Structure 1
Amino acid sequence: MLLELILVLAILASLYMSWNIGANDVANSMGTSVGSGALTLKRAILVAVTFEFLGAVLVGKHVTNTIAKGIVSPTLINPHVLMIGMFGALIAAGLWVTIATYLRLPVSTTQSIVGAVMGFAIVINMDLIHWNVVGDIAASWVISPLLGALMAYIFFMILKKFIFSKDDPIKEAKIVMPFFIFLTAALIAMSILFKGLKNIGLDLGLWNSLLISIIVGIIAMIIGYALLRRYKEDLMEKDKYKKLENFFIYLQVMTAASVAFAHGANDVANSVGPLVTIVDIYNGVPIGSHVTIPLWVLVLGGFGIVIGISTWGYKVIETIGKRITEITPTRGFAAELAAAFTVLVFSKLGMPVSTSQVIVGSVMGVGLARGIATVDYRVIKNILLSWVFTLPVAMAFSAGIFLLFRYIFLG
């Protein structure tokens, strides 16, 4: 009876954490699109709902393994105690993300769940924690926003040098944009094809996935080039730069979709990782064996993210899209393309990277490419402080909740 009760409560807690992920992290993929005017809030939510769900169900398996058994040594913990700990970790992480979302702060849900899992493990025995894995994860939290910032800076500087600095930016855009269309389409295809279809029984492998992605990119580039060639410039048109920005709206929507897919793939683990452990214990699967991830668990996580996006996602969107630096379609495109690239690389490596940190880093990279004065450092300071507090607060919440639940359930 105890196992059934904990399982049901854990499913609800996982759904609650998924809701929080959708509410806080939707800004990671849609904030720049809404901030630039490329998408209305309603359309952004529709795009996010679709691609977040697909990413969670198709690719969410990789990072879930790390959350489920990579942070602590499950074989050294009593199964009932482990179930209670993982259940409490979901509640603790969810509470902190709820507070952050209310304050409109884009915190890391990855840091929240990692800190929460560490929190209950510390109460039991600090030696249970795989400090080398935690160290690798922590390193990714530092490297990923820096990589995102660097890639966004490079992408925007390419646009600036080869398009915006030219006497006829429209003419130059027709030459340069097909390259970015190729890159965007190939990235989206690669994110889906490489290890992304295993859950439906299709494993194409690296080279086949890469070949098909390149072909998809080339087809998209040819179509884009043909459409751009059809555009006839109005000789009386005064604001060429405004027209140029409109060109990039379509690319920004594509990159927003790819970031949403990448986020669903990476961050669904933050809500279903602990649940997977609980389900395995309930089903009598030996602790420490290969983690099995039922499809219904990934669907549950994807569904919760969708609900969070639809009900409360607008709060943090404003912070990402409007308060860090001024966003236009070209700037948003550069930031989102960089974020999609960075998050997907780490996802394929099985590292639970923070998409919040990546997109904030990418937006900062675009801002710095325009000049250091264009970045609002007061907003950045508040975001950085929330990142610093996330891990210890989640650990403290988790430790307290674990002690309470252990007393309630086990006496």
Structure 2
Amino acid sequence: MDTTFVVMIAVVFLALAFDFINGFHDTANAIATSVSTRALKPRVAIIMAAVMNFVGALSFTGVAKTIGGSVADPAKLAHGEQIVIAALLGAIIWNLVTWWFGIPSSSSHALIGGLAGAVIAADGFGAINAGGFTNIIKGLIFSPFIAFAIGFTLMWILKLIFANGNPHQLNKGFRTGQIITAAFQSYTHGTNDAQKAMGIITFALVAAGIQDHLEVPLWVKLSAATAMALGTSVGGWKIIKTMGTKIFKIEPINGFAADLGSAAVIFTATLIHFPVSTTHVITSSLLGVGSAKRFANVKWSMAGRIVISWIITIPIAMGLSAVIYKIIEWIFL
């Protein structure tokens, strides 16, 4: 059997495994508030999120093209498929570690860091597309701050509008609203996060010489969308517990504001072809809402733990993937 074919099978398998893990790791963020406020039963929330992620994953490809061509030029790499394998393994390992401890870290950071680390290990720093990589990092850094500001503003406006409202009626109304915002948030998650696996598979296809462009093939779209939806269907209860209960006590109006704010940021990023961390955006929106509700009630120690995981994810994923690439190189190349 042709070696390139075998390696590509490994790439596709690992990329879809990454998407599957991403499904239960990151999608939990999208439904955590609606589950914690009992706007949706857990099983219903997971099924809805799986369906909306699938639809979202099939809707756009701009982020996939950014992932596929901005970190490095796959056509210029000598061992592009092996680089992708190392990147995926590094990202998967870190995702599983953070999932096990219930920390909502970023799958996007892990994948982008892993890809950069593997490229550097294979071909040196010169192989990194500095401009493209820097733009991606800027988007990953600034999007949480924007989400925090939007979450804070939305919650502040809602507090003014409904300051004298009947609490029972408000909870009932915003629980209904949360069903809509949770569905929209799950959809936007699919439009951005599922494309990252599509982009990495396309990167490998170009590196292997199987295609000479960054257009995402239909079979890649369908495979990534299905893997994300299946992963979502498994659920991510540890992440849901962290997001839904350990940052601050969430009421329906808070969940509605957080979901709407983060979904708006993610969808805007998708439209301009920017890969963002859905985890960072959703968590930051939730922190903004909590701060507007009552700053002192936010459990900032948990927020600090989450932020630390954000900071260390890229360098750890880079290091893991670089080491894995060197092991692959030593054994096979």
TM-score (norm 1): 0.78
Distance, in Å, in 2 between the alignment partners of 1:26 and 1:277 is 24
Structure 2 equivalent of residue 134 of structure 1: 133
User: Who is 1:30 aligned against?
Assistant: 31
Number of the residue aligned with 2:101: 103
Corresponding residue for residue 77 of structure 1: 77
- CA offset digits 1:274-331 (Å, max 9, x no partner): 2112234456323xxx312012112211222222222242221111111111111111
CA-CA distance at 1:65 after TM superposition: 0.6
In 1, Cα distance between the equivalents of 2:115 and 2:182? 31
- Say whether 1:263 aligns with 2:189: yes
**2: CA distance, partners of 1:356 / 1:262:** 12
Partner residue, 2:228:
305
* Unaligned stretches of 5+ residues in structure 2: none
CA distance in 2, matches of 1:7, 1:75: 15
Question: Does the 8 Å contact 1:57/1:295 carry over to 2?
Answer: no
In structure 2, how many angstroms separate the alpha carbons of the residues matched to 1:40 and 1:119?
Answer: 41
Partner of 1:12: helix, strand, or coil? Answer: helix
Q: Distance in 2 between matches of 1:314 and 1:327?
A: 17
1:249 aligns with 2:175: yes
Contact 1:41–1:314, Cα closer than 8 Å, also in 2: no
2-side partners of 1:297 and 1:162: how far apart?
46
Residue 295 of structure 1 pairs with residue 188 of structure 2 = no
Q: Distance in 1 between matches of 2:178 and 2:235?
A: 23
CA RMSD of aligned residues (A): 1.4
1:342-377 CA distances to partner (integer Å, 9 max, x unpaired)? 011111111111110111111001101112111001
Residue 325 (structure 1) aligns with: 248
CA distance in 1, matches of 2:81, 2:296: 50
- Deviation at 1:243? 2.0
Name 2:114's counterpart in structure 1. 116
Mapped to 1, the partners of 2:53 and 2:302 lie a distance apart of 26
2:84 partner letter: M
- Which residue matches 1:285? 211
| Residue in 1 that maps onto 2:239 | 316
Consecutive unaligned residues of structure 1, counting only runs of 5 or more, are: 170-239
Q: Determine what percentage of the aligned residue pairs are the same residue.
A: 28
Shift of 1:249: 1.2
Report deviation, 1:75. 3.3
Please tell me the residue identity of whatever aligns with 1:69.
G
The structure-2 alpha-carbon separation of the partners of 1:280 and 1:74, relative to structure 1 and needing over 3 Å to count, comes to closer
Where 2:275 maps in the other structure, the secondary structure is coil
Q: 1:391 aligns with which of 308, 314, 319?
A: 314
1:342 aligns with 2:268: no
The SS at the match of 1:371 is helix
The Cα shift of 1:73 comes to 2.5
Taking the aligned partners of 2:306 and 2:208, their CA distance within structure 1 comes to 39
Per mean C-alpha deviation after superposition, the further-off stretch among 24-33 and 267-276 is 267-276
Counterpart CA distance in 2 for 1:44 and 1:248 is 16
Whether 1:149 aligns to 2:148 is: yes
Quote the Cα distance in structure 2 between the aligned partners of 1:395 and 1:280.
22
Between 1:268-277 and 1:342-351, the stretch displaced more is 268-277
Instruction: Name the SS for the 2:39 alignment partner.
Output: coil
Hey, what's the Cα distance between the residues in 1 that align with 2:293 and 2:15? 41
Cα separation, 1, equivalents of 2:273 and 2:261: 19
The structure whose Rg is larger is 1
Which amino acid is the alignment partner of residue 124 of structure 2?
Answer: N
Which residue of structure 2 lines up, in the alignment, with residue 201 of structure 1?
none
2:158 partner amino acid = L
TM-score by length of 2: 0.96
Contact 2:75–2:207 (8 Å) recurs in 1: no
Distance in 2, Cα, partners of 1:343 & 1:284: 32
Kept in 2, the 8 Å contact 1:343–1:358? The answer is yes
Deviations 1:231-290 (A, max 9, x none): xxxxxxxxx30221111112111111111111111111332222112234456323xxx3
Distance 1:371 1:392 in 2: 34
Distance in 2 separating the partners of 1:128 and 1:87: 17
1:373 maps to 296
Give the Cα separation in 2 of the matches to 1:138 and 1:30: 26
1:8 matched residue in structure 2 = 9
Alignment-derived partner of residue 64 in structure 1:
64
> 1:76-225 maps to which residues of 2 (within 5 A)?
76-78=76-78, 81-123=79-121, 124-163=123-162, 165-166=163-164, 169=165
Alignment partner, residue 172 of structure 1: none
Q: Residue 43 of structure 1 corresponds to which residue in structure 2? A: 44
Aligned residues: 331
Instruction: Please say if residues 247 and 302 of structure 2, whose CA atoms lie closer than 8 Å, have aligned partners that are also in contact.
Output: yes
